[in-house]
A and B are shown apart, each in its own frame.
Chain A
Amino acid sequence: MPIDPRHVKVLEADDIIRQRANTQAWWKRLYLPAVVMGLGVTLRNMLGNLLRPGGLPTIRYPEERRDYGDRFRGRHYLKKRPSGEPRCVACMMCATACPADCIYIVAGEHPDPAIEKYPVRFDIDGLRCIMCGYCVDACPEDAIAMTREYEWASYEREDFIWDKEYLLNWRDEKIVPDGYQPYEGEIDKSRMSRGTL
């Protein structure tokens, strides 16, 4: 059945506002008591913060730092063998697992037949990396892991491409606690099948 336009009352914005205002108590419609109450709220908060500045959530970075958990996924590093060489065997697992496609590896033949391969180049593009940690999970040699380093600011884009030497040695210059590490416990195969590990 078509709607008879004579029976439709179009509500103007003003009408709606008026209807809503009329449902409130008269002293609320005066607006002033509400203003005073609001001022009370802000004053209470301000005085509370003035008297107890330590209670503020602000962290005075860089003097104070947030304490991140030991699974924090910061900048990567390559682990070394006792000889000082990288543990990496250039198997490309990490580069394959990487969803951001930020790992570039060139493999070379290692003189030791027990090791077989080593990375001639191992570059991570820090600007493309999404810090997911899949490379750490993928590595069969536990050769790559993450730290809690998050201060990477630089003026040059080139500085964010970390090559093999840098990934092996940067922790000699800056002391940073370990972050996300390869899982070393028992693996629950039943959970693995559902992909929730």
Chain B
Amino acid sequence: MDWTGVGISILKACLVFFGVVNTVPVLVWAERRGSAFIQHRLGPNRVNIAGFSLLGLVQPLADVVKFVWKEDYVPAHANRAFYVLAPILLLVPAAMTFAVVPFADDLLVGGRQITMQVADLNIGILYVFALASLSVYGIVLAGWASNNKYSLLGGIRSSAQMISYELALGLSVVGLLMIYGSAGLDEIVRGQGEHLFGIVPKWGVVTQPIAFVLFLAAVFAESNRLPFDLPEAENELVVGYHTEYSAMKFAIFFMAEYMAMVTGAMLIVTLFFGGWQIPWVESAELQAAVGPIPAALLQLGSFSAKLLFFLWLFIWVRWTLPRFRYDQLMHLGWKVILPLALANVFVTGLVLYFT
């Protein structure tokens, strides 16, 4: 058995997992301070360690301490087994989805080719969609097990929304798969390293602009973020499916939401913005110029920069747009995004056939 390979795989899995998990507190911080500045407030800036508040970055630490030390309470009217299961069911798919996202080009070290993604699956994008649709079970189960009308309504809304937008999510990507000829995310990223007319990077957003807009909307809906956060809808449903949850279980829902955001942003970057590709720089040339490991780090930096922008976009949109009404959401999903996605597939097929 190839123990070195196993070791490298475990190392990659740990690094990516900890990377994503540690993005969550940073995102919470960015969300709170960013929203504060948008709304002419200051946001959390008081919590400090020995006088250093690091612009408020210590606040998530204090939040975690609070969550851990709160009583782990299960309401008497809840269905205990499912109530405990629901956050786990939501967190596990959220923590597994980014296994197929490549964050740098393949690395050749000591005669060994290391793929810079945790799992090199040739069905990459299908795996992502399959897991993303699993997360709805956690939300529905949380809503049902809580035995609370607001939670139940949140869960039902969530299931309807997820089913509607999953279709749009899948269909909007089909055109992209047709162009790059693969469902593996590493192949799609490699295909985006080329240039159109010698100058424009052949990124997904250039070849499939309509698909990008549709996909963006569908990702917002899938991650339950505003303007599609109907499962939570504070002013209608308290906080929807996690109304009855407190302490660390609530924190897990919170984490899962932000991890879904990270996954969504990773997918947008990978599918439409060239993943780890640095524009106008060929991966092979870069590796020859600075060596394989610095090249991989540079590509990781490029990936992270794009990722951070889209994470910020999630936050930015949340504090700009009001929530859709439920019928508007369904109208948009079924009558606008779905036909447009189908038309996009059709036109892409025609163009590919005649060129």
Contacts and interface: CB of A to CB of B under 8 A. Distances in A.
B37 A49 contact: yes
Interface residues of A, number: 17
Given A39-B317, A42-B319, A42-B320, A32 B40 contact: no
B42 interface: yes
B319 A56 contact: no
Contacts of A43: 316
Contacts of B319: 42
Contacts of A60: 42
B38 interface: yes
B62 interface: no
A35 B34 CA distance: 18
Interface in B23-50: 34, 37-42
A187 interface: no
A45 interface: yes
Interface string A40-54: 011101100110010
A38 interface: yes
Contact of A46 (B38, B42, B213, B327): B38
Interface in A19-78: 32, 35, 38-39, 41-43, 45-46, 49-50, 53, 56-58, 60
Given A43-B316, A46-B34, A38 B321 contact: yes
B40 A57 contact: yes
Nearest to A53: B42
Nearest to A41: B320
Interface string B215-241: 000000000000000000000000000
Contacts of A39: 316-317, 320
B22 to A, nearest CB: 24
Contact of B321 (A14, A35, A50, A57): A35
B40 A49 contact: yes
Interface string B59-93: 00000000000000000000000000000000000
Nearest to B319: A42
A176 B338 CA distance: 67
Q: Which of A35, A41, A42, A49 has the most CB of B within 10 A?
A: A42
A43 B321 CA distance: 13
A58 B41 contact: yes
Nearest to A36: B320
A74 B180 CA distance: 72
Interface in A116-157: none
A50 B37 contact: yes
Contacts of B38: 42, 45-46, 49
Contacts of A41: 320
Contacts of A46: 34, 37-38
A56 B316 contact: no
A114 B186 CA distance: 100
Nearest to B45: A60
Contacts of B37: 45-46, 49-50
B316 A32 contact: no
Contacts of A50: 37
Given A39-B316, A39-B317, A43-B316, A56 B41 contact: yes
A163 B48 CA distance: 40
B43 to A, nearest CB: 9
A102 to B, nearest CB: 35
A56 B317 CA distance: 22
A109 B328 CA distance: 78
Nearest to B36: A49
Contact of A45 (B40, B213, B317): B40
A35 to B, nearest CB: 7
B288 to A, nearest CB: 40
A88 B34 CA distance: 56
Contacts of B327: 14
Q: Which of A39, A45, A46, A50 has the most CB of B within 10 A?
A: A46
Contacts of A57: 40
Interface string B5-19: 000000000000000
Contact of B316 (A14, A42, A53): A42
A57 B41 CA distance: 7
B41 to A, nearest CB: 6
Interface of A: 14, 32, 35, 38-39, 41-43, 45-46, 49-50, 53, 56-58, 60
16 contacts: A32-B213, A35-B317, A35-B320, A38-B320, A39-B316, A42-B316, A45-B37, A45-B40, A46-B34, A46-B37, A49-B40, A50-B37, A53-B42, A57-B40, A58-B41, A60-B42
- Shortest 5 CB-CB contacts between residues of A and residues of B: A49-B37, A42-B320, A46-B37, A46-B38, A38-B320
Given A14-B327, A42-B38, A45-B38, 11 more contacts: A32-B213, A35-B317, A39-B317, A41-B320, A42-B316, A45-B40, A46-B34, A46-B38, A58-B40, A58-B42, A60-B42
